[in-house]
Structure 1
């Protein structure tokens, strides 16, 4: 398998648990999430997406073998979170994730 492309978005919010639960439950109607501790992970649109609850931050991660798939994973996670967090004006800004 070629080296995976990865991206990360740190979304600042006072209620990361709430938004993580809402996002995982909503997407869980189409994909199956595995949760370990504060991180939930699923195969999404041909790649891997994860949602991690931090202190004052919700961390979204996307991983895929090619840019098109990475873009789809980012779109699915980001678009739904922005819709849920419209009132709180959540902002999802993706950046390439550091290797390792």
Structure 2
């Protein structure tokens, strides 16, 4: 299954992770991870939001490259919209075929 990592530099990572989880939690299964992050499940695609001190790490695992790209776009655009005032941007690594 293809996997991709995204990062958004911010000192408010827990707040953004919670905001995204809350937003999507009305439509899809969302849960907290033991390390204070959030897991979102879009059908067969899994998104883990892991807040750190200076960034938010986003791990997307999907059944195929098309689903991976679609969820990257959805999560990235929502985060950037939520963080527009702080000029939040998400950068994605090249997908791996884990």
TM-score (normalizing by structure 2): 0.88
| Structure 1: segments with no counterpart, 5+ residues | none
Corresponding pairs, count:
97
In 1: Cα distance, 2:73 partner to 2:39 partner: 16
Aligned-residue Cα RMSD (Å) equals 1.7
Aligned to 2:68: 70
Q: How far is 1:96 from its partner?
A: 2.8
Kindly tell me: are residues 48 and 64 of structure 1, through their superposed partners in 2, closer, same or farther at Cα, counting changes over 3 Å?
same
In 1: Cα distance, 2:23 partner to 2:30 partner: 11
1:54-84 CA deviation, whole Å, 9 max, x = no partner?
1111111111121110011111211110000
Query: Which ranges of 4 or more aligned residues in structure 1 deviate by more than 6 Å?
Result: none
TM-score (normalizing by structure 1): 0.86
Specify the SS of the correspondent of 1:72.
helix
